[in-house]
Amino acid sequence: MSIETLSQLTDAVAAPRLVIKVGSALLVGKDGAPRRAWLTLLVAEIAAARARGQDVIVVSSGAIALGARKLGLARGGRGSLADAQAAAAVGQIALAGLWAELLAAHGLIAAQVLLTLEDLEERRRYLNVTATLGTLLASGAVPVINENDTVATEEIRFGDNDRLAARVGQAAGASAVLLLSDIDGLYDRDPRLEGAVRVPVVRGVTPEIHAMATGGSSSGLGSGGMTSKLQAAEIAGLAGIALAIIDGRPDSPIAAALAEERGTLFCSPGKARARKAWLGGKLRMKGAVTVDAGAAAALARGSSLLAAGVTAVEGTFLRGDAIAVHGPDGTVLARGLSEYDAAECTALMGHPSAEHEALLGYAPRSALIHRDQLVML
Ligand code: GLU
pLDDT per residue as tens digits for the range 100-125: 999 999 999 999 999 988 888 777 88
* Mutate-to-test residue for ligand 1 from 60, 61, 112, 117, highest number of ligand atoms within 8 A of CB: 61
Which atom, in ligand 1's list, is nearest to the CA of 164? Answer: 9
Give me the pLDDT at residue 234, please.
85
Q: How far is CA 297 from CA 124, 367, 369, in A?
A: 27, 16, 15
In angstroms, what is the span from residue 89 Cα to ligand 1's centroid?
Answer: 12
Give me the pLDDT at residue 69, please.
92
- Whether the per-residue pLDDT at 280 is higher than 50: the answer is no
Which atom, in ligand 1's list, is nearest to the CA of 61? Answer: 4
- Whether the per-residue pLDDT at 220 is higher than 60: the answer is no
What is the dotted CATH code of the domain comprising 6-278?
3.40.1160.10
Q: What is the mean pLDDT of residues 53-59?
A: 97
Ligand 1 atom 6, closest CA: 160
Query: Is any atom of ligand 1 closer than 6 Å to the C-beta of 181?
Result: no
Q: What is the mean pLDDT of residues 29-41?
A: 94
Q: Are 32 and 63 in contact (CB under 8 A)?
A: no
Q: Which residue has the higher pLDDT, 11 or 224?
A: 11
pLDDT > 70 fraction of the chain, expressed in percent and rounded: 92
Task: Provide CB contacts within 8 A for 119, sequence distance 6+.
Answer: 125, 126, 128, 129
Mean per-residue pLDDT of the chain: 89
* Mutate-to-test residue for ligand 1 from 148, 223, 228, highest number of ligand atoms within 8 A of CB: 223
Q: What is the mean pLDDT of residues 138-166?
A: 88
Query: Is any atom of ligand 1 closer than 6 Å to the C-beta of 83?
Result: no
Which atom, in ligand 1's list, is nearest to the CA of 162? Answer: 9
Give me the pLDDT at residue 225, please.
80
Give me the pLDDT at residue 335, please.
86
pLDDT digits (tens, 9 = 90+) for 68-101: 999 999 988 888 999 999 999 999 999 999 999 9
User: Domain 285-376 belongs to what topology?
Assistant: 2.30.130
Per-domain residue ranges of the chain? 6-278, 285-376
* Fold agreement between 6-278 and 285-376: no
pLDDT band at residue 216 under the 50/70/90 scheme? very low
Query: Is any atom of ligand 1 closer than 6 Å to the C-beta of 147?
Result: yes
Give me the pLDDT at residue 282, please.
42
- Whether the per-residue pLDDT at 304 is higher than 80: the answer is yes
Q: Are 161 and 231 in contact (CB under 8 A)?
A: no
Write the burial class of residue 200 (CB in 10 Å: 0-12 exposed, 13-18 middle, 19+ buried): middle
Ligand 1 atom 2, closest CA: 61
Which atom, in ligand 1's list, is nearest to the CA of 84? Answer: 10
Give me the pLDDT at residue 211, please.
86
Give me the pLDDT at residue 239, please.
82
Give me the pLDDT at residue 224, please.
58
Backbone torsion region of residue 73, taken as left when φ is above 0, otherwise alpha when ψ lies between -120 and 50, otherwise beta = beta
Q: What is the mean pLDDT of residues 176-185?
A: 94
At 16, give phi and psi (nearest 5°). Answer: -65, -20
Give me the pLDDT at residue 325, please.
96
Q: What is the mean pLDDT of residues 35-46?
A: 97
In angstroms, what is the span from residue 224 Cα to ligand 1's centroid?
Answer: 8
Q: What is the mean pLDDT of residues 256-271?
A: 89
Strands 201-203, 264-267: pairing kind:
parallel
Give me the pLDDT at residue 283, please.
42
Query: Is any atom of ligand 1 closer than 6 Å to the C-beta of 240?
Result: no
Q: Are 197 and 187 in contact (CB under 8 A)?
A: yes
Closest CA to 19 of 254, 290, 349: 254
Q: What is the mean pLDDT of residues 255-270?
A: 91
Q: What is the pTM of this model?
A: 0.75
- Whether the per-residue pLDDT at 217 is higher than 70: the answer is no
pLDDT digits (tens, 9 = 90+) for 339-356: 999 999 999 999 999 999
Q: Which residue has the higher pLDDT, 158 or 172?
A: 172
* Mutate-to-test residue for ligand 1 from 160, 219, 228, 245, highest number of ligand atoms within 8 A of CB: 160
Q: Which residue has the higher pLDDT, 56 or 274?
A: 56
pLDDT band at residue 278 under the 50/70/90 scheme? low
Give me the pLDDT at residue 214, please.
63
pLDDT band at residue 270 under the 50/70/90 scheme? low
Angle at 353 between CA 349 and CA 358, to 5 degrees: 85
Which atom, in ligand 1's list, is nearest to the CA of 149? Answer: 1
Give me the pLDDT at residue 104, please.
98
Most confident by average pLDDT, 186-195, 294-303, 329-338? 294-303
In angstroms, what is the span from residue 85 Cα to ligand 1's centroid?
Answer: 11
- Whether the per-residue pLDDT at 294 is higher than 80: the answer is yes
Give me the pLDDT at residue 235, please.
84
Stretch among 200-209, 222-231, 368-377 having the lowest mean pLDDT: 222-231
In angstroms, what is the span from residue 253 Cα to ligand 1's centroid?
Answer: 20
